[in-house]
Chain A
């Protein structure tokens, strides 16, 4: 893990789109007046004719993307997660999901790391919403490397695809040379025989730090990065749970419906375990800086360490 190099995954998103624009001439990007914030303006500058600003009209943007997809385009719709999955949920379900159209939803500013804008803009339900739509792939990248790989995977995978990007800069976790992104395959980033923590997104780096703190107390934690929430990697979840003394999940999302729920579903049906879900406990966020909020809601390394110790 490279802690000196911090990049927001929304930045990776914009860069990946701009890089892949040449290889995929049918790639088009739609925005709803947030091209600067979603970083898709990096693509816009390179391919202005293939960038479509729909104005502040997310429901319309979603439908336009559906129409473009019926004509062979590969549209990415970009907005904050709140407005790319919440405002337009029914358009995503009925105009994209039901006809299984090849639309990619690249949402930025997910979770509490939106920071100062507060609860109205901190989407904590997007994974839950998107995961329940039949045929929707759901990916939560942990860093720059994974975010870029996820954008390519989305383009190369036919059908609706949701990727969750963040606002705040995060450390590069996957900076090893032999890194390979495999859709639907969880990655064990740290082995440990005592407990297992399944995490994704910004929580992966925090969990790796928490694991070091636990190790100094003599507790060896495995940290498994579940970047693909749907389809979930059942095999890896069972494999890393069955011998663990305790299982934890950790995500920057409501504990209802996200990664925690997905892991519990697998374990309940295949390998019953007591699971502690670390996330936002069925409440709304609030205004503060991203770092302060991560600490307040117990999603930083110290908070995760404390929660694990309390639940051993």
Chain B
């Protein structure tokens, strides 16, 4: 998929995030928007997946370790055809398959139930290990928040992945630099992220998480690395794509009101017409 097509999809994904969180009147737009380009890339270009066969044992896996940003994943899955886009507005409502945090027994396409921070990387390690045991060539991608890597279990999992040279595992760190209580560097600094993963025997790549060329070449490098797991540290903007949400900690876990929703939707629609106009 070319970059413009990816941008168009990512903009639709962002609209879905806004609609879902607005409808639910709660949820986590900020970190969903910061990772929207990455998750779009994974499901529309990088991963070997089939929405009509979500349990294919040979598929590539994705674990959203920062599970609270599931509106972003749900929107990508819906746009990719795992379930109708109309389902997005049922987010967090009684009986919906779209739970407040991802649940693999509820939603087609969810490879691991997550939400309690710090646990997803271990599950991804287990999946990567299973591929090695079975001599399968599927790859496992795990997305973590930058605040999330304050959890000790992340480093237990990283130590094991490096030790076992799990070259079929890629961990992506969404470095939007914000957590609930403020700047990641102010609350309890996780920096330098890249050097930490290097010390845990990872192949580390720093990229701009909103630049599809850089995202693409990072995964190429990950696939070509034969003796280490890869960590992609991506610099992102929390709330990316909705002007009033950008780089604001307050939009970590808050839904837009009706007025804010309309404003955000208009921005994204304008972007979409520019992109689609240019595409014709």
Contact = CB atoms under 8 A, between A and B. Distances in A.
Interface size class of B (residues with CB under 8 A): 20 to 34
Interface string B97-121: 0000001110000011101101111
A60 B125 contact: yes
Nearest to A91: B119
Contacts of A100: 105
A81 B130 CA distance: 25
Q: Among the interface residues A62, A67, A72, A91, which one has the most CB atoms of the partner chain B within 10 A?
A: A67
A54 to B, nearest CB: 6
Interface residues of A, number: 30
A50 interface: yes
B33 to A, nearest CB: 25
B160 interface: yes
B157 interface: yes
Given A54-B156, A59-B156, A70-B61, 14 more contacts: A54-B160, A55-B159, A57-B153, A59-B122, A59-B153, A64-B122, A64-B126, A67-B123, A69-B126, A70-B111, A71-B57, A72-B57, A91-B153, A99-B103
- The DSSP consensus for interface residues of chain B is helix
23 contacts: A55-B160, A55-B163, A57-B159, A57-B160, A59-B152, A63-B122, A63-B153, A66-B126, A67-B124, A69-B126, A70-B112, A71-B126, A71-B131, A75-B126, A91-B119, A94-B113, A94-B115, A94-B116, A95-B112, A95-B122, A98-B113, A99-B105, A99-B113
A57 B123 CA distance: 14
A13 to B, nearest CB: 22
A46 B119 CA distance: 31
B133 A70 contact: no
A106 to B, nearest CB: 17
A136 to B, nearest CB: 15
Interface of A: 28, 49-50, 52, 54-55, 57, 59-73, 75, 90-91, 94-95, 98-100
B80 to A, nearest CB: 20
Given A28-B133, A72-B130, A99-B103, A64 B116 contact: no
Given A57-B160, A99-B103, A99-B113, A63 B121 contact: yes
Contacts of B113: 94-95, 98-99
Contacts of B112: 66-67, 70, 95, 99
B160 to A, nearest CB: 6
Contacts of A68: 126-127, 129-130
Contacts of B224: none
B2 interface: no
A98 B133 CA distance: 26
Interface string B55-93: 001000101000000000000000000000000000000
A62 B122 CA distance: 8
Contact of B126 (A57, A70, A98): A70
B119 A63 contact: yes
B134 interface: yes
Interface string B118-159: 111111111111110110000000000000000011001101
